[in-house]
Amino acid sequence: MHDLVLHTARAYFDKDLVYRRWGARHGGVYVPIAPNTPPNPHLSGLPDRDLTTTTGKQLTLMNPAYMVRQAYEIAAETPGVQGHLTSLRPLRPENRPDDWERSALERLARGEEQFDSIESFRGEPHLRFIRRFLVEESCLKCHASQGYRLGDVRGGISVSLPLAPFLVIQRRQTWPLAAAHGGIWLLGAAAIVTAGRRFGQWLREREGEEQERRSLEQQLHHAQRIDSVGRLTGGIAHDLNNLLSPILGFSSIVLEELPPEDPHRSDVVEIHQAAQRARELTHRLLAFSRKQELKAEPLDLARVAEGMRKMLLAMLGEDVELIVEPPGTAPPVLADRAQLELVLLNLAINARDAMPRGGTLRIAAREEWLDERSGALELPPGRYAALVLSDTGTGMDEQTLDRVFEPFFTTKSLGKGTGLGLPTVHGIVKQHGGAIEVKSALGRGTAVRLLFPATDGTAGRSLPATDDRLPRGSETVLVVEDDPAVNRFVCKVLADLGYQVVEACDPNDALRYAEPGAPRLDALVSDVIMPHLTGPELATRLAGARPGLAVLFISGNPRDELRPDSIGPANAPLWKPFTRGELARAIRRAIDSTRAPAVEG
């Protein structure tokens, strides 16, 4: 039972650490000043610690430690798992360690990474677990004055897990064993041989059931951890997409208007390219949780790898030889080119890091047929295209190989690995209906085999769409978007393309166009998740009063649920962030797909 409880405590610690690191990477968050969220006196040296919004609301910067501490205080209001951010030299009295934590912190200061024991906590038996917390860049804002340096042991995060639920499970398992022993005693010596045999068989069955139960519990904990991280990454991606939409959009507009010789053009190009890279980052976050919207097309795996040769060579360095075998008999697959390129890039980075003194990375595509004996891959029998990447690196032992797809698990040193590379690859391959297999041995390199279902389509070379000759229009379009920056960008692009644009500040304001005598309306461009009404609900009510209304939804998160009957067969959602050209083509496609005449008010 101790292993199960300790595993659960570690999972809570990992979750809290992810939450703190997210806050650290974003520099903290601003919250309204209130009695329970006063300004942090240890950040008084920051010029932007306190801000006042345009509406007069006063905000203060909440640094990561402040965020985590308040989260723990909220959790302490109810019984259950308790966390505590503590140190032998705390700045705040709330972070002062108790007796157990002080003893554990002294162990951490002597070099131990973590410590746990069964203790009485708040009058109940608990497993108390603590792991050391090292000084990161964000910690120095408050703690540099105490003499801490980057990488020092700052303190620890302790987790107190109540044992009562686990003891109930243990008692339920103990009663059958006690009854069985009592039955054996009553049988007596005459039946001891027979009873012993039967009891031995029973114990073996119980051992098998116990192993199965532990395996199912581990799968459940893993699935819960993946789900929680997926929800977190999906939310982050949604917020980033909303922020990136106006940056990507307006920078593309400025680039079109600036002449080539303008001295500021190179600056705008840097902004636009940075936004493009940030968009790719959100794609990686969504790919990890298998929530990325796929743009599937028939592709030749060997051609995709060959097309990335220059990028891979630049990333691998001069001491690594790259061999991309020419296209052979591998059939085309139905896949998203950008996602396949991300898979290749992640695997190539892992191979490079495994060959610090140089080596060879070989990429090959081939045809494979699977039958019923290929059950370990969990794929149905049939024809597949295999993409194999093999390196001559250091390889992995069996223990490491068993954990390669575990989120945040990495063998790389601090700051050189996130532990999301192979889990992201695994998520992308699974979303394409494929499978991944990793074979490795210490000193013998690693081989990664990816399998994708073959398609009957013909693979071709897709070309990126450009903004040349953008479709225009003169129809009246209603724009409903609760993010002001995204709203301004959408309205400007549509107006520049010749459309008559009307705005609504929220869904309730937009409902006035469903009233009799309202102005002419040909199309609706709406966000999906908004206050009061969702985008599909708004579209349903407007379309009821105006049959033939064209609808285009824009969303920052593919997790947003859109029913096919609410968007129409030809009106795929436009995912944020999008460019001027993508918006122009999407709205024209939505209007052209509605063959009914324009609606009069």
What does the DSSP assignment read for 440-478?
E-TTS-EEEEEEEEB-SSPP--------TT------EEE
585, 493 in Cβ contact below 8 A?
Answer: no
**Domain CATH number, residue 339:** 3.30.565.10
Among residues 432, 336, 339, the alpha carbon closest in space to that of 384 is found at 432
Note whether residue 221 is domain-resident.
Answer: no
Write out 278-335 in H/E/C secondary structure.
HHHHHHHHHHHCCCCCCCEEEECHHHHHHHCHHHHHHHHCCCEEEEECCCCCCCCEEE
Note the pLDDT of residue 222. 57
CA atoms of 150 and 127, how far apart (whole Å): 31
| In a shared domain, residues 442 and 512 | no
Residues in contact with 388: Cβ distance below 8 Å, sequence separation at least 6, in sequence order: 362, 363, 364, 365, 366, 447, 448, 449, 450
Q: Mean pLDDT highest for which of 36-50, 66-80, 155-169, 347-361?
A: 347-361
Reported confidence tier of residue 600, pLDDT bands at 50, 70, 90: very low
Note the pLDDT of residue 566. 46
| In a shared domain, residues 116 and 72 | yes
Q: Judge whether residue 432 has pLDDT over 80.
A: yes
| Average pLDDT of the residues in 422-447 | 87
Reported confidence tier of residue 495, pLDDT bands at 50, 70, 90: very high
Note whether residue 271 is domain-resident.
Answer: no
Reported confidence tier of residue 567, pLDDT bands at 50, 70, 90: very low
Note the pLDDT of residue 598. 41
Q: Judge whether residue 137 has pLDDT over 70.
A: yes
**Domain CATH number, residue 581:** 3.40.50.2300
| In a shared domain, residues 6 and 153 | yes
Higher-pLDDT residue of 122, 474: 474
**pLDDT per position as a tens digit, 540-563:** 899 888 888 999 999 876 555 554
Where in the sequence is the domain holding 111, given as residue range(s)?
2-28+63-167
Reported confidence tier of residue 501, pLDDT bands at 50, 70, 90: very high
Note the pLDDT of residue 565. 46
Higher-pLDDT residue of 420, 399: 399
Note the pLDDT of residue 601. 38
Reported confidence tier of residue 523, pLDDT bands at 50, 70, 90: very high
Considering the chain, what is the average pLDDT of its residues? 79
| Average pLDDT of the residues in 99-121 | 87
| In a shared domain, residues 442 and 483 | no
CA atoms of 394 and 250, how far apart (whole Å): 47
- What is the count of structural domains for the chain? 3
| In a shared domain, residues 24 and 143 | yes
Q: Judge whether residue 596 has pLDDT over 50.
A: no
The answer to whether the predicted template modeling score (pTM) of the entire model surpasses 0.75 is: no
| In a shared domain, residues 430 and 558 | no
Which amino acid, one-letter code, is at 107?
R
Note the pLDDT of residue 153. 74
Note whether residue 294 is domain-resident.
Answer: no
Question: Given 109, 142, 167, which residue is the final one in a domain?
Answer: 167
| In a shared domain, residues 506 and 589 | yes
**Domain CATH number, residue 80:** 3.30.450
| In a shared domain, residues 21 and 146 | yes
Note whether residue 448 is domain-resident.
Answer: yes
Question: Given 128, 144, 167, which residue is the final one in a domain?
Answer: 167
Reported confidence tier of residue 494, pLDDT bands at 50, 70, 90: very high
| In a shared domain, residues 15 and 129 | yes
| In a shared domain, residues 328 and 386 | yes
Note whether residue 122 is domain-resident.
Answer: yes
* Beta-sheet strand order (sheet of 446-453): 320-324, 359-370, 382-391, 446-453, 435-440
Note whether residue 118 is domain-resident.
Answer: yes
Reported confidence tier of residue 221, pLDDT bands at 50, 70, 90: low
Among residues 16, 149, 157, the alpha carbon closest in space to that of 86 is found at 157
Note the pLDDT of residue 255. 78
Higher-pLDDT residue of 199, 47: 47
Note whether residue 291 is domain-resident.
Answer: no
**pLDDT per position as a tens digit, 265-304:** 888 888 878 877 777 666 666 655 555 556 788 999 999 9
| In a shared domain, residues 533 and 490 | yes
Note whether residue 250 is domain-resident.
Answer: no
**pLDDT per position as a tens digit, 2-61:** 788 888 878 888 888 887 778 777 878 888 988 888 888 877 778 888 889 989 899 998
Question: Given 167, 185, 218, which residue is the final one in a domain?
Answer: 167
| In a shared domain, residues 308 and 433 | yes
